Structure 1
Amino acid sequence: MAKQKLDIFIIDDDPHLAEMLLLHFEDLGYSCQSAQSGRQAKEKLAGLKPKIFFLDQHLPDTLGITLLPELKDMYPETPVLMITGKHDMELAIEAIKLGATDYIHKPIDIEELNASVEKCLSPKRTKKDMTITTHDEKAGEPRIIGSSRKMIDVVKQIALASTNDATVLIQGETGTGKELVAKAIHYHSGKEGAFLAVNCGAIVENLLESEMFGHEKGAFTGAAERKEGKFALAQNGTLFLDEIGELSPKLQSKLLRVLQEGTFERVGGSETLTTNAHIVAATHRDLDQMIADGLFREDLMYRLKIMTVHVPPLRERVEDIKLLTPYLLAKINQKIGKNITGMTDDAYYKLEAHSWPGNVRELENVLTRACAMNRTGIISADQIVIEYGADSAGAHDLDHEAIPLVSLEELERRHVTKTLERTGGHKGQACDILGISRPALDRKIKKFKIQL
């Protein structure tokens, strides 16, 4: 007997949420059914052939992450959208590696969910978009902290990059955590070899060449014995090339050859060596502009950008500060021997009001100073000391005399616009910050003619 075709099958133990989703998508013309447990889902699916699944993580008789592989075995071509109320980056990575197409947080942003459904049901979608290989996990897992939409996108890219050896270019401002992303890619790849890092901007050219490719005895003054380079030492592992934009033209050419052929020679040597290290590079510089200025090879950039991960600056994910801060405080407590247990609301507000030009690294520095000064165990706003640079956005915010007086309406327009910019146009997050409803925000966007 042929199975009944169905657009959306919802597996969620919350009857109110399931009913809301059913009504919403039925209004959009989709056929839908739901189940409130893993067992009920399997019983109903015996006669159904859905085009897409909504899968909640917490079910009364199982976990969504446990049910996910079973769904993929039964319906390998059918996309699965994981839904969870818990902000767990590692769960998101594991779900995507097991075959989930997307990962949606509660409370659900219905526009985001609509977009994900439309993308999954697009006729252009192919099986290739869904095929992700799993790997065994190891100890020492890097922590990716954040629940913002932009950080969830980073997590998705980490999961995809860890399933193959395609070269990865990580882009982001200084202090955003590019090396942490590289370590996460290596960890989730399950590679047996080591993760090794080279800072291309911290070593002079001659020493950097030796550091990367190794050298023979007598290759230069001080080369008393043969030394293996990072490309050889990272065999079966990952080589992270930080600040790749600082490479000299000579080393750009040598790196291009490694990426093209997988071969190189030690400095002063003639023996051709091979490497299978997974190359992950990072930069805070605009490589396209460097190419236009004749400072970076275009063919090398294309070799590096097989896959890209953009790590957002902290000012574009301000909502993550309340998740980052406890993690950083625990780390600082251990490092300097303190026992900080929390922060006042005013202290959090002060952190969230800053533009963080130095990103997470600056946040950690500010919190370290606050911990060092603290004697009560609870950090207060006066202990959050932020040093504004001459060109810092925060410095201009403090220069009240330089700001012309404006009407309340203009002030509101600026505030709404700034909030939407800070949230990357995410209306749900903007509503939470502004304390208004979605319809009210839509009216203000229309009233002030704000372009998203």
Structure 2
Amino acid sequence: MAKILIIEDDEVFSELLVMHMEDRNHEPQTAHTLEQARERLAESIPDAILLDQQLPDGFGIDMLKEIVAQPPYPPVIMITGVSDNKLVIQAMGLGAHDFIRKPVDEIELDTTLSNALKSHRLSRQVSAITHAEDYQVDIGQIIGTSPSILEICKTLGSVASSNAPVLITGESGTGKEVVARALHHHSGRTGLFLPINCSALVENLLESELFGHEKGSFTGAIARKEGKFEQAVDGTLFLDELGEMPASLQAKLLRVLQEGSFERVGGTQTQHSNARILAATNRDLKAMIGAGLFREDLFYRLNVVHIHLPPLRERMGDMPLLTEHLLGKINNKQHTAVKHLAENTWRRMKVYSWPGNIRELENILTRAAILARSDTITEDLLALPEEPGHEHPDSKEEALPSLRLISLEVIEQEHIRAILEHTRWHKGKTCEILGISRPALDRKITKYALG
């Protein structure tokens, strides 16, 4: 059943459309003027709109412009007796889903509406995942054969099909989202996998992203918006960086876990969600509980199943498999052709502690692959910093005269310059490789005087 808004000034024809929609098990609403239509849209967003052109207080084409100006908007089907091909072209150009002339053929209407609803469902899914990363690793694939990875896979297989919350812990870059995606992939749930970073948004915006908001609930809330809990119906909501969630939102999250219900920001109507909750953090939540920074009751609600990811330095036996996998991904994305690592490159990688874990490994390999002049990565391309207490594998006991003791800022400056030169100063490609926004790149170019 879908919610259909019928904007039609002819009350007889409007009533016929209402009966037809009800016969098809839809939920129709009517508006006979543009003003009534605006009121209906402010109350709730329908799944599709049937829009007449000639209305008492204006034209349907003007209403169409207002609707498409606030994405994501529902599909709009123009229905009019006006025989004007320019109007058809204008409406379709503005974003109308289709255009039907009166008298309306029922089969044509049913087919058009069915296609519009399917398109709307797909567009909502695409919209919901727009902010997710361009994730190239095969969904559900976890790389490694070490005992710790084997135990993680066993746990994953045992709990994936349940509805139990899962708390995933580990240092930054260990692959917590990979595990979360694998849990969803093997869960059999038909809805979306929606990740949200709890540290990336200020408190009021994070609340709106999670729970949605009503029109006028705060400055800039020009229309009602569904939150991630509503978008993830029958799916999985992944709360990354959970330890950064403000205390006020922790209480609201606890209620969803306990009762499956919540209210949108500025709303009074209770909403419901059956989304499965997965959470990840690199923080010590028990220590945060002791410091009064995290709710103990929320911790136990989320910690029904606990999966801990070891740092890369504790699973170095997986390095060859991880490197092979990442090089395949890098070659595909960056159009490089690296196939091998020199022996001294392997030795250097094995004694490095990898504080950034798999994410750091991927970044280092990406830079090396881009700069490589053959199909082999040599040690000089790694740009790994020397670590106190970790001797270079090819060094003698005496200090290396060529050792460069440089700051992270210098490393970043050199890395950004190398990527800019590789892309011939194509900022879009540079941002894609570095994983940063255009404004962030511009700030770093200015900071390091690279221009």
| Same structural fold, with TM-score higher than 0.5 when normalized by the shorter chain | yes
Distance 1:178 1:302 in 2: 19
Aligned residue for 1:227, secondary structure, equals: coil
Is 2:390 aligned against 1:397? yes
Aligned residue for 1:324, secondary structure, equals: helix
The aligned residue for residue 245 of structure 1 is 243
Is 2:212 aligned against 1:214? yes
Contact 2:211–2:262 (Cα < 8 Å) also in 1: yes
Gaps of 5+ in 2: 1-136, 399-451
Contact 2:140–2:183 (Cα < 8 Å) also in 1: no
Distance 2:177 2:238 in 1: 8
Distance 1:339 1:208 in 2: 41
Amino acid aligned to 2:157: A
Distance 2:252 2:351 in 1: 45
Per-residue deviation at 1:337? 1.2
Is 2:322 aligned against 1:342? no
Q: 1:243-392 maps to which residues of 2 (within 5 A)? A: 243-388=241-386
Give deviations 1:265-293, integer Å, cap 9, x for gaps.
00000110111001000000000000000
Contact 2:352–2:390 (Cα < 8 Å) also in 1: no
Distance 1:387 1:381 in 2: 12
Distance 1:319 1:346 in 2: 17
Aligned length: 260
Per-residue deviation at 1:323? 0.4
Contact 2:161–2:188 (Cα < 8 Å) also in 1: no
Per-residue deviation at 1:382? 2.3
Give deviations 1:218-252, integer Å, cap 9, x for gaps.
11000000000000000000000001111111000
Is 2:211 aligned against 1:193? no
Per-residue deviation at 1:369? 1.3
Contact 2:331–2:337 (Cα < 8 Å) also in 1: yes
Give deviations 1:81-122, integer Å, cap 9, x for gaps.
xxxxxxxxxxxxxxxxxxxxxxxxxxxxxxxxxxxxxxxxxx
Aligned residue for 2:277, secondary structure, equals: strand
Amino acid aligned to 2:389: H
Distance 2:265 2:142 in 1: 37
Distance 2:138 2:345 in 1: 32
Distance 2:200 2:254 in 1: 20
Distance 2:208 2:190 in 1: 24
Find the structure with the greater CA-based Rg: 2
Amino acid aligned to 1:303: R
Contact 2:263–2:270 (Cα < 8 Å) also in 1: yes
CA root-mean-square deviation: 2.0
Distance 1:151 1:345 in 2: 26
Give deviations 1:287-331, integer Å, cap 9, x for gaps.
000000000000000000000100110000000000000110111
Per-residue deviation at 1:396? 2.9
Contact 2:351–2:390 (Cα < 8 Å) also in 1: no
Per-residue deviation at 1:381? 2.0
Give deviations 1:59-95, integer Å, cap 9, x for gaps.
xxxxxxxxxxxxxxxxxxxxxxxxxxxxxxxxxxxxx
Amino acid aligned to 2:353: S
Distance 1:288 1:338 in 2: 44
Amino acid aligned to 2:253: L
Aligned residue for 1:308, secondary structure, equals: strand
2:180 to 182, 186, 193: 182
The aligned residue for residue 170 of structure 2 is 172
Per-residue deviation at 1:387? 2.5
Distance 1:143 1:395 in 2: 35
Distance 1:368 1:399 in 2: 22
Distance 1:354 1:140 in 2: 27
Per-residue deviation at 1:335? 1.6
Amino acid aligned to 1:211: E
The aligned residue for residue 202 of structure 1 is 200
Distance 2:196 2:158 in 1: 23
Per-residue deviation at 1:395? 3.0
- Provide the TM-score with structure 1 as the length reference: 0.56
Distance 1:299 1:210 in 2: 23
Distance 1:351 1:204 in 2: 38
Distance 2:236 2:224 in 1: 22
Give deviations 1:11-60, integer Å, cap 9, x for gaps.
xxxxxxxxxxxxxxxxxxxxxxxxxxxxxxxxxxxxxxxxxxxxxxxxxx
The aligned residue for residue 226 of structure 1 is 224
Distance 1:313 1:140 in 2: 21
Distance 1:334 1:312 in 2: 28
Per-residue deviation at 1:140? 5.5
